Amino acid sequence: DDTIWATSAAAGPAFEGGNLSCGMVALPGAISSVRIEGDRVRLQVIGNGQPIGICGSAAVEAINELLRCDILEPGGRLRDSGEIPSNLSSRLIVHKGANAFVLHRDAERLIFLSQDDVRQIQLAKSAIRAAIELLAERSRIRFQALTDVVLTGSFGSVLQPEWLKTIGIFDESMVQVSHFTLEGALAGAEIALTHDEGFEAVENLAKRFRVVPLSGTPLFETLFIRNIDF
């Protein structure tokens, strides 16, 4: 009816590159795309200069590529170099006692995605997926009944719905109805400032929200563990 169901998932800074070994925000020098073509890794860098780090969206794309090439297991384990039959095995190194996949190396720096980086993204994506499932359960709305899935923000602008399916945030029905809205939060603020009813309309909208807390909710914890794999 008129109820808007809402929640907020604490996914941490992994998607912004904050928890990643070589992570950085999407500024010049950040790797913005990672593609594996045969035995080659092709990178796109913001500003087209030398890479100095990797941003969150590229890390998500890299994980998709590593899963596709069977270098990363669905459980989140980076395979050992000896388990990889192609020349990509040379890109597997040991970093702090665990495997890491090298994206770029030159005389000045080494940029890689480590096993711990993969785990950080697993934790973030599992929190979001568990929040979505909990919201669906509380509202009694089936995923197949969704008619619109909106991505927004600078991070959302570069995410492909298929990536989100591969890492385990979206299912196929969500992929089919997803789209991107430019600067959704800013656009909402502009509407509130220019609306004839001013912020009264915003306050009336807020009354329709039913917020579902996640902290301390046993079902969320169960769903979080269930969704940890890719």
In angstroms, how far apart are the furthest CA atoms of the chain? 66
pLDDT band at 198 (very low <50, low <70, confident <90, very high): confident
Three-class SS of residue 203?
Answer: helix
**Distance in angstroms (rounded) separating the CA atoms of residues 51 and 28:** 8
pTM: 0.90
Least confident of 77-81, 131-135, 183-187: 183-187
The pLDDT > 70 percentage for the chain reads 100
